[in-house]
A and B are shown apart, each in its own frame.
Chain A
Amino acid sequence: MHSFGYRANALFTFAVTILGFMCAIASFTDSFNSPSPSVQVQVLKVNWFQKQPNGNDEVSMTLNISADLQTLFTWNTKQVFVFLAAEYVTPKHVLNQISLWDAIIQEKEHSKFTITTSNKYRFIDQGSNLRGKEFNFTLHWHVMPKTGKMLADKLVMPGYRLPAEYR
C-alpha cells in the first residue's frame, strides 16, 4: 500500500542516485579539456652555497618563477597544487628530487603569475655532490577536482647548473 513515507523514501533515494550520476558526468566532461600550461624559471642569484657541519651541501637561491596554468582549470576544478622541484643525478642515487617551492591556487585568475622568491624549502644534498652540478627544474601540478579523479602532471626544464665552488 502506498503511503507518504513510501513516496518520500522513493523520491529521496532516486534524487541522491541521480546526483551521483550528475557528478560522474561532470567529472567526465573534464576529459574534453586539453591543458597547455607554460612555465619559465630563472635563477636570479645564488644567495649562498655551503657545506654543512654534517657533511651535506646546502644551497640557497633566489628564483623568478613565471607560469600560466589557466588551461588546467575547468568548471569541475577545486584547486591546483603546484610545486617546483630540482632534479639531479649523483653517483650514489640515480634520481634526487627536492621540492623548493609550492603553492595552492584556488582561482583561475591567480594561476597566471610571476613570483620572485628565495627557495621556500631548503635545498640540501645527501652528501657533497652539488658543486658544478647540472640539474633540471621540474614544475609538478596536481589538479584537484570537485568530483572525480585527481590529475597529476609535470613540465621538465633542463639546463641549469650550480656554481663550481662554495660561496
Chain B
Amino acid sequence: MDCEGQKLAEQLMQIMLLSFAVIAIGAGYITASFQTMILTYAGGVVLTTLVTLPNWPFFNHHPLKWLDPSEAEKHPKPQPSVNVTAKKKFTSI
C-alpha cells in the first residue's frame, strides 16, 4: 500500500464506521429494537473490515518510483575517505 492508499484506507474506515453507526441508531430507534441496532452495526464493521484491511490494488494507484538499477550505476556513491582525513586533522590540534 502506498502513501496515498494509506490515507484513503484510513479515511474510508472512519467514514464507513461513522455512517454505519448513524444508520444503525436510526434503524434501531425506528424499529424499537436494540438488537436491530447492534446487528446493523456489526454488519457494518465486517463490511468495513473487508474493504479497508486487505491490501487491495486500488490502494496502490500512486506507487513510489524506485530508482532503476541501471540508472543508479551511472551515479556512483561519493567516497567517504575525504571526510575521515579532515576529522583527523582537526583532533591533532
Contacts and interface: CB of A to CB of B under 8 A. Distances in A.
Contacts of A25: 25
Contact of B32 (A10, A22, A75): A75
Contact of A26 (B37, B49, B52): B37
Interface residues of B, number: 25
Interface in A1-38: 2, 4, 7-8, 10-11, 14-15, 18-19, 21-22, 25-26, 29
A14 B9 CA distance: 14
A30 to B, nearest CB: 11
A34 to B, nearest CB: 16
Contact of A29 (B18, B29, B33): B29
Contact of A75 (B13, B34, B41): B34
A146 interface: yes
Contact of B34 (A8, A15, A76): A76
Interface string A38-70: 000000000000000000000000000000000
Interface in B31-69: 32-34, 37, 41, 45, 48-49, 52-55
Interface in B1-36: 1, 6, 9-10, 13-14, 17-18, 21, 24-25, 28-29, 32-34
A93 to B, nearest CB: 43
A14 B17 contact: yes
A21 B55 contact: no
A74 B32 CA distance: 7
Contacts of A76: 34
Nearest to B36: A75
A10 B41 CA distance: 17
B53 A26 contact: no
A14 B32 contact: no
B28 A26 contact: yes
A113 to B, nearest CB: 21
Contacts of A75: 28-29, 32-34
6 contacts: A7-B9, A7-B10, A25-B25, A26-B25, A26-B34, A75-B34
